[in-house]
Structure 1
Amino acid sequence: MTQVQLQQLQKQLWNIANDLRGKMGADEFRDYMLGFIFFKYLSEKSVNFANGLLKDEGEDITFLELHESNDEHVPYIEAIKTNSISEVGYALSPSQLFHSIAERGRQGEFILDDIAATLKAIEQSTLGSDSADDFANLFEDLDLNSTKLGNTANDRNELIAKILSHLDKIDFDISNTESDVLGDAYEYLIGEFASGAGKKAGEFYTPQTVSTLLAKIVTQGKERLRSVYDPTCGSGSLLLRVKREVQDVDMIYGQEMNRTTYNLARMNMILHDVHFAKFDIKQEDTLIRPQHLDKCFDAVVANPPFSAKWSADPLFLQDERFSAFGKLAPSSKADMAFVQHMLYQLDENGTMAVVLPHGVLFRGSSEGVIRQYLIEQLNVIDTIIGLPANIFYGTSIPTCVLVLKKNREHTDNILFIDASNDFEKQKNQNKLLPEHLDNIIGAFENRQDIEKYAKVASLAEVQANDYNLNIPRYVDTFEAEDEIDLDAIAKQLQDLEVNSQATDKVIADFCKKLGIDSPFAEAK
């Protein structure tokens, strides 16, 4: 599929979402829209898999032509189900396929109960199999009885039937193994819903350009990865972006605290054709209950919630992730706690890249102690990259990327890159463009001083700055035209003084007419 065709598909999907969402907010309707797209994907994958089996057996019939009520067809359907569960991780009957239900909806039938039963059947088909954890409660956010879909059951049925009918007409072209059209369209919608969801968007989505930057950093010089991990994986887009940058990733790991977003991440993996045996996404609070603590990873990436609150319980000083530092990140700002956690799970030869608010570079107290330990004792901070302000949904603050390595090649310096002015201003927020990414990655790979953009600072220089990593201390972006004109400032101050004296006189004359003392009488 060409880029033009992909854009047309994205437009079709967004128009469906925009026309049908009614009074729901973007983040609410998202669960339905993306859930039904996922259901369509599972159905089409089932059809392709079943048709392949039937063709291999020399049968001149398609899966959609099989009927559960036909005794001659039942053995085929059961055999296909058995093979489907072991190969693709779930099973559907012909009557449960997306197209079959959408067609009944077009005929005016009541289909809500059929949809609910089918989604439940998908989950139950995996029980006792290796894919059970990946499909458990996957559709729990699709509440077909919600009054937000309509006041009556018939109203809700009519709306859902319309959604299914529209989606049924779109060819996702999943038979093309070289194409990831559906996955791309899915990611596109996640991004659009994130834009509409405002502050809530930060819980589940990292802008593609930022994901690409982190992915290129952690895969630099590598063609494959044994593992990649994101402790705050949101919708999983960042993990998938890392997968795209190499030929293969043996295993993808992630953890997400929000239940709805956790379901979204699992759907996103499956939609991008990541086999159920090749990803392990868990739902829990990473800092309090980490689910993969026994593992280390080739690549670790994250966009944690900025300055989130956490318990900072003193008991964590006995936790191996934090104990060596002697200090915990403050309860009001968990940023450094995520850094410590990620570093603990980084392989000796791995690379870690994390997006954080600028404050982690210079804040004092316990964060300053942790930062100094990372530099002075562990020497793991490799690169600091300053990003533009207002490139994330729901916040306008400037951010930075910290790149950490346990086995650094450049042990006597830290690279600073100031990309804060590299963006295109758009309607609601700024955007990194491909050429901006090229500039950053070029500077990261070449590791040389670039005037007003990059600086290779010695550890001695960092130490002289009391381990303050604020980028302007190292990258001089001062422009000549910004030089202070002292004569002009003196003239402005003189004008202000004259104006002030004139104002004082007016007030004094007014007070005299009123027969009261002027507040400036003593001054005169």
Structure 2
Amino acid sequence: MSEKVTQQDINAVLWQAADTFRGKIDSSIYKDYILTMLFMKYISDAYKEHLEEYTQKYDGDERRIQRALSRERFVLEEDATFDYLYSKRNDPEIGEIINKALEKLENENTGKLRGVFRNIDFNSESVLGRAKDRNSMLRSVLEDFNRLTLKPSVVGSEDVIGDSYQYMIERFASDAGKKGGEFFTPSMVSELLARLVKPEENDRIYDPTCGSGSLLIKVANQVPNKKVQIYGQERNGQTHSLAIMNMYLHGIDDAKLEWGDTLANPLHLEDDKLMKFQRIVANPPFSLDKWAMGFANDTTNDKKFKMDASLDPYRRFDWGVPPSSKGDYAFVQHMLYSLAEEGRMATILPHGVLFRGSSEGKIRKQILEMNLLDAVIGVPEALFFGTGIPACIMVFQKNRKRNDVLFIDASSEGDYEKGKNQNKLREQDIKKIIEMYEKYETVDKYSYVASMDEIKENDNNLNIPRYVDTFEEEELVDLKAVKQNINEIKSELESVEQKMKEYLKELGL
């Protein structure tokens, strides 16, 4: 029995493999190469181990071995395995050989991997440089990965691989700064959202801007047997591919992840209507500019195009069309229209959505009148990659029994851990928020339950400081005590000076 490979072992090799590219290519691009190679190495090693087991079990009977292998999660031809690529690591055409292997993998597993590798090119001169440089980089990466054994018997739990994948995505996201935020929500923020929506067995769970899928996985993990159905959509092709691999590496084989613009082209439909979900989570791009461009037809001049509610066949913008430069409420309305009866959703948004006027104010008023808003939670600034913007979480619920809204201000000094570039939520901070959300009560300087009348009086402004006062009164200064203190310091100073004179005299200075 081989010695177990730990999470740390895998993470260290992955980070070393990333060194091959560092300084030559932007990390938001080379992450795709590293993560694809990790996926390939894992399914290759699992396949190889099962092949050994069946060969022993069926005493070398080729027909029975092949039949058993055809029932595996993934089917691999010999020239689509990692070992084959490693044997060709010095071949001058290695980039093309890897591309062909990935294409073969897709074709052999078309139901599961169709299109997953279409956005990655291991033979790209524009990304990886000229043949000589490209080949030496690819050889080095293959050699790094060859040091890893990812056979199921050695790795133990599949979560180990999934967690390494997650670890790398998070490291890349912090490296990539602003671009990183596009494909990854920090894990503790995802954890908070997942616990806020409290999924149940057999729920349909949906993320309309799913990035690399990590937030959906956190929600699925809230259900002990993971018996939920996962749905997501992502606009960026590379990120969509990462999300599919991420699901498989976490043992979620039946996720339905679509590629496309969720606003202009939602792809989860039932009877030509938007599909309904019991739980929805999202971290949409903050204040997305030109969010409605997908609704313009080809003949429209970009500058002249004006979004109108009638252009959307699903009627999601009947409560108001968000400003063209800020897509926040476009995503909120899409999610509310996709929410099942009794369903709950939680989404991360910039603070502006709480108080901005004009069309956004009109949409906010409509949402409040329909009693869909359950809670507004202010979180610390600088939680997200590449942006210091303080954000909030809005929790919505269909068919609410109450007629008020809970406000929580979880952004004070003691409610998070300060980091150099990025602040972090700790387990205790998340617990505190969740407990307050469940208690739903007013606590001085932390939370406030506002009636709908109060919110109306505030003209539907949801800015958190209007409801939760975190202002700390400064203690009055006792001038008498201060004066006394100054006098004491003066007399102490005089006696020290006197002593100093005596010492100097003794030394004859």
Instruction: Indicate whether the TM-score tops 0.5.
Output: yes
Question: CA offset at residue 401 of structure 1?
Answer: 0.4
Match of 2:82 among 71, 81, 98: 98
How far apart, CA to CA, are the structure 2 residues paired with 1:167 and 1:28?
19
Q: Does the CA contact (< 8 Å) of 2:161 and 2:249 recur in 1?
A: yes
- Counterpart in the other structure of 1:16: 17
Q: Any gaps of 5 or more consecutive residues in structure 1? A: 62-71, 486-524
d(CA) in 2 for partners of 1:318, 1:157: 49
Partner of 2:474: 481
- 1:299 is matched with 279
The alignment partner of 1:249 has SS state of coil
Structure 1 residue 482: Cα displacement? 8.3
CA deviation vs aligned residue, 1:47-68 (integer Å, no higher than 9, x gap): 244445445xx2346xxxxxxx
1:251 aligns with 229
Hey, what's the Cα distance between the residues in 2 that align with 1:123 and 1:306? 34
C-alpha contact (below 8 Å) 2:233/2:257 kept by paired residues: yes
Q: Cα 1:251–1:365, aligned 2, differ >3 Å: closer, same or farther?
A: same
1:126 aligns with 2:70: no
Query: What one-letter code is carried by the residue in structure 2 that aligns with 1:29?
Result: Y
Q: 1:235 aligns with which of 212, 217, 225?
A: 212
Q: Deviations over 1:44-99 (max 9, x none)?
A: 232244445445xx2346xxxxxxxxxx85x4675355333xxx1x4212343213
Contact in 1 for aligned 2:205/2:277 (Cα 8 Å): yes
In 2 relative to 1, CA 210–108 (structure 1 residues): closer, same or farther, beyond 3 Å? same
In structure 1, the residue matched to 2:301 is none
Superposition CA RMSD, Å: 2.6
Which stretches in structure 2 are left out of the alignment for 5+ residues? 293-305, 479-509
The answer to whether the aligner puts 1:469 opposite 2:462 as a matched pair is: yes
The answer on 1:388 being equivalent to 2:380 is yes
RCO greater where, 1 or 2, for CA within 8 Å and sep 6 or more?
2
Q: Tell me which amino acid in the other structure corresponds to 2:86.
A: A
Matched with 1:322 is: 316
Aligned to 2:481: none
For 2:348, the equivalent position in structure 1 comes to 355
Q: Write out aligned runs for 1:143-154 (5 A).
A: 143-146=122-125, 148-152=127-131, 154=132
Q: Is the 8 A contact 2:344 2:397 kept in 1?
A: yes
Task: Look up the match of 1:116.
Answer: 99
Task: Tell me, yes or no, if the aligned pair for 2:205 and 2:231 is still in contact at 8 Å.
Answer: yes
Checking the alignment, whether the CA contact within 8 Å between 2:41 and 2:150 is kept in structure 1 is no
Q: Does 1:313 align with 2:297?
A: no
Partner residue of 1:201? 180
Instruction: Please tell me whether residue 403 in structure 1 is matched to residue 395 in structure 2.
Output: yes
Contact 2:119/2:237 (8 A) holds in 1: no
Please tell me whether the aligned partners of residues 178 and 386 of structure 2 are also in contact (alpha carbons under 8 angstroms).
yes
Q: Distance in 1 between matches of 2:477 and 2:463?
A: 23
Tell me the TM-score normalised to structure 2 length: 0.83
Q: Is the 8 A contact 2:116 2:244 kept in 1?
A: no
TM-score, L = length of structure 1 = 0.81
2:205–2:279 contact (8 Å) kept in structure 1: yes
The aligned counterpart of 1:489 is none
Q: Which residue of 2 aligns with 1:290?
A: 266
Shift of residue 112, structure 1, vs aligned partner: 3.3
Residue-by-residue CA offset, 1:403-434 (whole Å, 9 max, x unaligned): 0010224x221111101122212121111111
Opposite residue 412 of structure 1, the aligned amino acid is N
8 Å contact 2:213–2:247 — kept in the other structure?
Answer: yes
Tell me which amino acid in the other structure corresponds to 2:70.
Answer: T
Preserved contact between residue 54 and residue 60 of structure 1 (Cα < 8 Å): yes
Contact 2:229 / 2:255 at 8 angstroms: preserved in 1? yes
Q: Which residue of 2 aligns with 1:59?
A: 58
> Does structure 1 retain, via aligned residues, the 8 Å contact 2:10–2:164?
yes
Of residues 193-202 and 308-317 in structure 1, the stretch that sits farther from structure 2 once superposed is 308-317
- 2:268 maps to a residue whose letter is H
Matched residue type, 1:174: P
Letter in 2 for 1:120: E
The answer to whether the 8 A contact 1:252-1:279 is kept is yes
1:215 paired to 2:194: yes
Rounded Cα–Cα distance in structure 2 between residues aligned with 1:291 and 1:426? 39
Q: Which moved more, 1:167-176 or 1:201-210?
A: 167-176
The one-letter code of the counterpart of 1:59 is Y
Partner of residue 268 from structure 1, selected from 237, 246, 254: 246
Matched residue count: 454
Closer, same or farther in 2 for the Cα pair 1:482/1:188, shift >3 Å?
farther
Matches within 5 A, 1:129-168: 130-131=111-112, 134-146=113-125, 148-152=127-131, 154-168=132-146
User: What is the rounded CA distance, in whole Å, between the counterparts of 1:449 and 1:151 in structure 2?
Assistant: 63
Alpha-carbon distance in structure 2 between the residues aligned to 1:317 and 1:20: 45
Q: Is the contact made by 2:377 and 2:394 (CA closer than 8 Å) also made in structure 1?
A: yes
Q: Comparing 168-177 with 113-122, which one deviates more in the overlay?
A: 168-177
1:321 deviation in Å?
4.2
